[in-house]
């Protein structure tokens, strides 16, 4: 059950620890004014599973979006199991190419949406990005899951659950940030 729902025991522990971090204001979030948000920028470690998928879902939903990884190689293709799981959900990740944090170009109106609290801390520590509003994508899942554990290298059932959670969160972002819509 742990592997299918949380990826690993470490994923479950990080999820449990993320709730008090969020509640006590220790997550390094920086609130966004929804009226100022013009583009949703999804962030994860490698930009080949979670943030890549969120970007594809957001674009399909008619939102301005981008994605990048905190430690990746720009141009890297999406992870094959993520491509397969995305396809099963009706999304195409085959054309995605990763963008490294160093190659991401911030724009006025960007909202950074990370998958893990520790990623928010990395964004807050970067002088080029620390002024941007940032939060956790998992705040838009139901129930709230402030830690969306990395499915890279894990089994297919967890990959499917992780991407379904991300899809649900992105669908809820549509109404939360109406000025990020393309039309």
Q: Is 165 a catalytic residue?
A: no
Among residues 14, 50, 134, 165, the one annotated as catalytic is: 50
Q: How far apart are CA 159 and CA 4, in angstroms?
A: 8
Assign 3-class secondary structure to the chain.
Answer: CHHHHHCCHHHHHHHHHHHHHHHCCCCCCECCCCCCCCEEEEEECCCCCHHHHHHHHHHHCCECEEEEECCCCCCCECCHHHHHHHHHCCCCCCCCECCEHHHCCCCCCEEEEECCHHHHHHHHHCCCCCCCCEEEHHHHCCCCCCCCCCCCCCCHHHHHHHHHHHHHHHHHHHHHCHHHECC
Among residues 14, 39, 134, 150, the one annotated as catalytic is: 150
Among residues 14, 39, 44, 162, the one annotated as catalytic is: 44
Q: Is 80 a catalytic residue?
A: no
Q: How far apart are CA 14 and CA 164, in angstroms?
A: 19
Q: Is 50 a catalytic residue?
A: yes
Residues serving a catalytic function are 44, 50, 150
């Amino acid at each position: 059950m742990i592997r299918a729902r949380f990826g690993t025991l470490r994923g479950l522990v990080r999820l449990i620890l993320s709730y008090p971090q969020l509640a006590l204001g220790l997550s390094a979030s920086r609130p966004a004014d929804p009226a100022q948000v013009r583009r949703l920028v999804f962030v994860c470690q490698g930009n080949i599973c979670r943030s890549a998928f969120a970007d594809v879902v957001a674009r399909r939903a008619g939102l301005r979006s981008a994605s990048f990884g905190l430690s990746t190689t720009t141009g890297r293709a999406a992870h094959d199991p993520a491509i397969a799981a995305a396809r099963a959900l009706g999304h195409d990740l085959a054309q995605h190419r990763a963008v490294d944090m160093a190659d991401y170009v911030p724009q006025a109106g960007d909202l950074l949406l990370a998958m893990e609290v520790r990623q928010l801390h990395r964004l807050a520590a970067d002088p080029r990005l620390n002024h941007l509003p940032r939060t956790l994508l998992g705040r838009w899942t139901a129930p709230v899951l402030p830690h969306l554990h990395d499915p890279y290298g894990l089994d297919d059932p967890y990959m499917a659950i992780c991407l379904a959670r991300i899809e649900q969160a992105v669908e809820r972002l549509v109404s939360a940030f109406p000025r990020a819509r393309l039309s």
